[in-house]
Chains A and B, each alone.
Chain A
């Protein structure tokens, strides 16, 4: 058996990992101590690892949190690992984008050459620099032969150009734009907008998050993302201090129902609290406790209710 630097069949890095799991023999422990004394880098890594171990234990409430989030993760719309169908659409989208970019480049090249070719049409220019009025023949044949032909280039007559005839047939058009739209199915777009909104929310860019969530509701009203967006938008509006609008969003979600009902109830109660609509707030907290007695928000609900009832005359 190959022996490691410590003389044991285990490398020092792994001795450190196993020490953190509490599974070292006496001999291994001694070997680790020697290795830590010899390598400052290993000592730093070992110490930092222990620093993390001290604060990463299980905390009260973790079990409930994990159970609640597991349910939501299973119900949540998937944005990763696209299926074969979605991958095919994405490939089509990329192909369409490349085609459009190619067309745009060709159009740009041809119009810039066209401008050079049109130069002889300007009488003053022709008079001052007649030698510069001849376009490059090869390029003229390719791009703008009807305009910059040898006959017209040599004359001082103004040349009028119908731009619509010069624009190449592969210029981006409404038709190709609609093809691009077709290559990106609505559910993908809804998912992308939802992800962008969530990222904006996490980055505390609440204005952008709000507008993206609103766009989702407006443009994809029947998507699952739009339904979920009501709760997220409600949270964003609450942070922005727009409690009335937030309450509306949570109420809309609750009317339709869904896997985020607990969060929507919590949000609605908080919105009503901000608005000072105490009887309605109490009623929402009561609903939360009645329908979700094991909710992670149950303690919050109970505390708030007892505070409200204690404050009542």
Chain B
């Protein structure tokens, strides 16, 4: 019965499993079924890995640790999952929080250790973009990652879920259990900070032109 109530108005007449195919596995996993836990983690793994890479950088040595921590955290948090969003969105939020914590922890180290992530290197080789465009894209990604350490956590979460992971505003609101307008308001502030940050850091190409 509780499961039928989980998705609220969205569940009208639709079995929860059809709204979220991972719900059945999540229920079993929450009760300690190890096979269900494994199935769920393997299903959710790509989303968790994507989140860890997005926040830490694809070449960060902490990605694997964060993935494992996120997996353990998802299993530990499942009993408290109330089905207000999909299991995948719930897990992504757990991964966002885990990765943001680690990102903030290692921020000082990242400041002093040159950290060229392989996504930048991968982009240089992209056939449809010039090296300058790829470098500029890498700069924007890094600016956003830096911003995640500076913004209040509620803004960082919204920014990561919506801009980095591509959640819609509705999905973000359900994942965070806050009203849609709250998400919009947080997003406005976070995006204004992102815009300002990018304006403050001129593209490498412009710097070179100015110096010339």
Chain A complexes with chain B? yes
Binds B, one of A38-46, A106-114, A131-139, A272-280: A38-46
List, in ascending order, chain A residues with CB within 8 A of B132's CB. Answer: none
Partner of B71, one of A41, A70, A198, A203: A70
Query: Which residues of the other chain, A, contact B75 by a CB distance below 8 angstroms?
Result: 73-74, 78
Question: Is the C-beta of A53 less than 8 angstroms from some C-beta in chain B?
Answer: yes
Q: Which of B3-61 contact A (CB under 8 A)?
A: 34, 37-38, 41-42, 45-46, 49-50, 53-54, 58
- Residues of chain A within 8 A of B41, CB atoms compared: 66, 69-70, 73-74
Please tell me if A55 contacts chain B, counting CB pairs below 8 Å.
yes
The answer to whether A54 and B126 touch (CB under 8 A), given A20-B166, A199-B105, is yes
Q: A153 to B105: give the CA distance in the assembly, Å.
A: 58
Please give, as numbers and ranges, the residues of chain B lying within 8 Å of A101 by CB-CB distance.
none
Cβ A66 vs Cβ B42 within 8 A: yes
13 A-B residue pairs with Cβ-Cβ distance under 8 Å, sorted by A, are: A17-B169, A44-B195, A52-B163, A54-B126, A55-B58, A55-B119, A55-B123, A56-B50, A62-B49, A73-B69, A73-B75, A74-B34, A202-B62
Interface residues on B, range: 35 or more
Report the Cα distance A20→B122, complex, angstroms: 20
Chain B contact residues, CB within 8 Å of chain A? 34, 37-38, 41-42, 45-46, 49-50, 53-54, 58, 62, 64-65, 67-69, 71-73, 75-77, 79-80, 102, 105-106, 109, 119, 122-123, 126, 137-138, 140-141, 144, 162-164, 166-170, 184, 187-188, 191-192, 194-195, 198
Interface size class of chain A, counting residues whose CB lies under 8 Å from the partner chain: 35 or more
CA–CA, A81 to B77, complex, Å? 6
A27-70 residues with Cβ-Cβ distance < 8 A to B are 40-42, 44-45, 47-49, 51-56, 58-59, 62, 65-67, 69-70
Q: How far is the CA of A53 from the CA of B42 in the complex (A)?
A: 21
* Chain B residues within an 8 Å CB radius of A11: 169
Nearest CB in chain B: distance from A269 CB, A: 19
Which one of B58, B105, B162, B195 lies within 8 Å of A202 (CB-CB)?
A: B105
Q: Is the CB of A80 within 8 A of B166?
A: no
Interface flag for A71 (CB, 8 Å): yes
Closest A residue to B144 using CB positions: A48
Which residues of B have CB within 8 Å of A198?
A: 65
Q: What residues on B are CB-neighbors of A42 within 8 Å?
A: 191
**Complex Cα–Cα for A45 and B143 (A):** 12
Q: Is A54's CB under 8 angstroms from B137's CB? A: yes
Given contacts A55-B58, A56-B50, 5 further A-B contacts (CB under 8 A): A14-B169, A20-B166, A56-B119, A69-B64, A202-B102
